[in-house]
Amino acid sequence: MSLVKVLFDFNAQDVGELSVVVGEVVRLSSTGQSPQNSGWTLVEKIAPPYGKGYVPTGYLGSQTKGSEIDADKGSPTSEGASGVEEGEVEPTKVTSFARIRRLSDPRLPEHLLETLAASDPNSPAVTGARRNFMRTAEGEPSAPSPSTSRKIEALRPKVGKTDLVEYKRSDKEKVGVLPIELEKIFSRHDHWFEQVMDARARQYGTMEAALSRVNKRMAQAREKSEQIVSNIMQLDAALENDKQKWRNVNRNESLNVH
């Protein structure tokens, strides 16, 4: 048997596919290999929950040949393997994310479903997929998947028949009253808008008056400060003159003594 390691997470979106997670070890199916150009590889899980299905080939790592499977433990037990103990899986270093490889039709091709049916012909997923494929080939559209149906139901408007009838009745009753109601609404809105603008105008007027008073007081304080500076300069000049006068008197008296 050949073991491969899953490199990326893959969520099954159609019958016949198998969901796997990164780091999981799966076994290539012995029923037969899928064609290289299909982009899908048939694998089966070796640990619970068991399953078999198709996984994109690009999501799988290189094959490990010559390994035996311990179905109970779900791990490779090769005698020549080195560095990996029994029950352990060597970690995989993931450096990128791969894209899900889809064909133009998201359903798996018929020949791949036949390969899966050959390994497990009693699988309800396989038989259902074959019926969907045959109906599609004959021109009958296949039913959407459960996930697609849930998405469609979520997008539909939640309106019942009673709501539609009530809406039409009220529309007929208010057809003549609607313009008057709109006029009242607009009138109340205009009145409210005028009140708001008047209140803002009063606030701005109060602020302007307060700023004017502050500016006036600042101008008066500036004038007083200029007057005080002028008086100080005059006193300084008078004091300097008085000092000069007394210096002259002292010099004259000293000359008369000698």
pLDDT tens sequence across 163-186: 444 445 555 455 555 667 888 888
Q: Are 6 and 24 in contact (CB under 8 A)?
A: yes
**Residue 73's pLDDT is what?**
42
Whole-number Å distance between alpha carbons of 114 and 124: 13
The kind and range of the H/E element at 25 are: strand 25-28
Instruction: Return the beta strands (E) in 29-168 as ranges.
Output: 40-45, 52-56, 69-70, 75-76
Q: Regarding predicted confidence, which is higher, 23 or 69? A: 23
Question: Contact, 119 vs 42, CB < 8 A?
Answer: yes
User: What is the per-residue pLDDT for 70?
Assistant: 46
Every domain of the chain and the residues it spans: 3-155, 187-258
Residue 60 contacts residue 7 (beta carbons within 8 Å): yes
CATH numeric code, 3-155 = 2.30.30.40
Q: Above 90 in pLDDT, residue 221?
A: yes
Listed range (56-60, 92-96, 130-134, 148-152) with the worst mean pLDDT: 92-96
pLDDT at 204: 94
Choice among 116-120, 157-161, 208-212 with the minimum mean pLDDT: 157-161
On whether the pTM is more than 0.85, the answer is: no
Query: How does pLDDT run across 38-74, given as a tens digit for each residue?
Result: 678 888 999 888 888 888 888 888 776 544 444 344 4
pLDDT value for 92: 43
